[in-house]
Amino acid sequence: MQSFSALFQPYTFRSGVHVRNRLVLAPMTTWSSDPDDSVSRAELDYIARRSKGVGLALTAVTYVTPNGKGFQGQFGAEHDHRLESLKALSQAIKSGGARAVLQIFHAGHQALPELVGNDVVSASDVPPPASPFRSDIPVPVRALSRAEIQDIVLDFGQTTRRAIEAGFDGVEIHGANGYLIQQFMSSHSNRRTDEWGGSLENRLRFPLAVIEEVKRVVATHAPGPFLVGYRFSPEEAHEQGLTMHDALNLVEALKDQGLDYVHVSLSEYAGQPRRGDDLERTRLEQIAERLGAQTPLIAVGNVWSPEDALQALHLGASFVALGRALLIDPEWVQKVEAGRSQDLQTTFSVHDREPLTLPEPLWNLLTGFMLKDRLTQG
């Protein structure tokens, strides 16, 4: 029988934070905040259950400033009055033995206009790509001023301070999935002619400024070990978008930042590049090689079985994030560790919302996609 012991090796990060294994709860949006954007009881129950086996639990993404809110049902971390809400979230995660990491972002041009007073901002006035969660009507986008850019950098720092005060073990800077930090990185969405745009060096300036400010706040406010991670997407599908060349240059810059880890956002952990110099090897292999052994790499993307997770480690990841696998089987980690992989749940029925401890908005989305698939196939 195949051994999965590699998935259960403990690890101590550069900052001194220790985790019990190499498995991570992926940051999954639940659309389940209370009406005032505080963390709901349903989300607390959902994440507490799924934190009982993993070493590291990443929250759904939260916004650092009011005009950075991306979608309905998103919990906030933009003001100090969010501290009690954030404390409840960190405690729910840590009650299961996992380390708690708050994922932080600004949505940029992916913000819904009605959530940000119809003032949607980005690196440049380039509208967002089409999305199933957004109407087909083009969204007017305003380019951020230099002063606003500096203010948002500081907002990332202030949210990091709140995470420290709320008892989290770290923050993950969300520079992936087309949100504001990635918008500055991409030559498609960043068409500025000042110091924040143009060359790759200038387009890197914003993510590196955010990292620097977050690290400064940690050094000032954290009483003990505190993680700083960074998530990025390696490629964009549209013309002038990010390429593997851009991603590998970003990785070169990130490896010098003293980060605890880098988290690559992939839809398929073993997927190959769309374009680039090396189309034969997986993105994961190339990124791991460029990052080197000093900075751990978290991989995610279509990991369902323990065999998938092992393969991700073999391709160069140090940690493996579980998303949909933990939605469908919250005890995935415990079963694998106990040698019960044959008992893993891989399907669900319309009666399973409460047994799976899933918030209703997330459940409605899952069952909606399930129904859509049936209609498409039928």
Residues marked as catalytic: 179
Backbone angles phi, psi at 170, to 5 degrees: 175, 175
Alpha-carbon 200 to chain mean position: 23
CA–CA separation, 15 vs 257, rounded Å?
Answer: 13
Give whole-number Cα distances, 139 to 125, 126, 239, in Å. Answer: 10, 9, 19
Produce one character per residue of 346-366: b if its CB has 16 or more CB atoms within 10 Å, e if not: eebeeebbeebbbbebbbebb
Cβ atoms of 29 and 359 within 8 Å: the answer is: no
Cβ atoms of 97 and 60 within 8 Å: the answer is: no
CA–CA separation, 71 vs 86, rounded Å?
Answer: 18
Burial of 138 (0-12, 13-18, 19+ CB in 10 A): exposed
Please count the CA atoms within 13 angstroms of the CA of 125 that sit on its side-chain side. Answer: 5
Within 10 A of 373 (CB to CB), how many other CB atoms are there? 10
CA–CA separation, 78 vs 124, rounded Å?
Answer: 23
**DSSP label at 370?**
H
Amino acid in position 377:
Q
CA–CA separation, 375 vs 353, rounded Å?
Answer: 21
Alpha-carbon 184 to chain mean position: 17
